[in-house]
């Protein structure tokens, strides 16, 4: 996000330059990421894309989720 949302503003500007429309990006904080299915799915996907063993990734992720 950067200081005072600088990166968000730069992404909005890039989108405006490319598509010639105004864009507004809203960012929401996820307080407990282990309870969000989307966040955990993205985590698993990035780990698998980084060539981590999928069984280990799944076991660790499920154990984190069960603890919460």
Give the model confidence (pLDDT) of 8-67 as tens digits: 889 999 999 999 999 888 888 888 988 999 999 999 999 999 999 999 999 999 999 999
Q: Which long-range contacts does 25-34 make (Cβ < 8 Å, 24+ apart)?
A: 27/1, 32/68, 34/64, 34/65, 34/67, 34/68
Of 18, 32, 16, 42, which Cα lies nearest the Cα of 65? Answer: 32
| pLDDT at residue 62, as a whole number | 93
- CB-based contact 65:33 (threshold 8 Å): no
Is residue 4 pLDDT above 90, yes or no?
no
| pLDDT at residue 6, as a whole number | 87
């Amino acid at each position: 996000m950067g200081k005072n949302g600088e990166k968000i503003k730069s992404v909005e500007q890039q989108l405006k330059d490319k598509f010639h429309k105004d864009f507004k990006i809203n960012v929401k904080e996820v307080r407990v990421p282990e309870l969000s299915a989307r966040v955990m799915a993205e985590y698993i996907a990035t780990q698998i894309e980084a060539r981590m063993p999928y069984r280990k990734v799944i076991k660790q992720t499920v154990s984190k989720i069960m603890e919460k």
